[in-house]
Each structure stands twice: as C-alpha cells, then as structure tokens.
Amino acid sequence: MAQSTFNIRLNEAPITREGAMQAFAALRTEAKANGVSDMSTDDINQEIDLARKEAKA
C-alpha cells in the first residue's frame, strides 16, 4: 500500500503554536488529498516497515 510521500520543509523561523497548527492542518489536508487520512495503525506500521526495507536495499 505504498502512497505518495509527504514533503516537509525545514526553515529557521521560530516555532509558534499558530505555525504548528497551520502545519498540522496542511498535513491533514495533504493526507486527505492522497487518500491516507483514514489509515489504521496497522496500515501505518506496514508502511513504516516497507519504507525501512526499501531504505536498506
């Protein structure tokens, strides 16, 4: 069940509650757009295991 990856940018701006909430909302929107917003814990763990195996290859 490989899905699109999330792109996360790191910047040097101070982290604020408002900024964190905006980032979280953006991630939720992207997850919904990619059809992964309702993944179960088992699905998430499978994706993590797959990513780790691919990283080792």
Distance (Å, whole) CA 19 – CA 13: 10
Residue 46: which residues within 8 A CB-CB, separation 6 or more? 1
Closest CA to 36 of 16, 6, 11: 6
pLDDT value at residue 1: 53
Query: Is pLDDT at 48 greater than 70 in this prediction?
Result: yes
Nearest-Å Rg of the Cα atoms of the chain is 14
Query: What's the pLDDT at 14?
Result: 85
C-alpha span between 25 and 31 (Å, rounded): 10
Q: What is the pLDDT of residue 13?
A: 78
Q: Each residue of 7-47: pLDDT tens digit?
A: 777 777 788 999 999 999 999 999 999 998 999 999 999 99
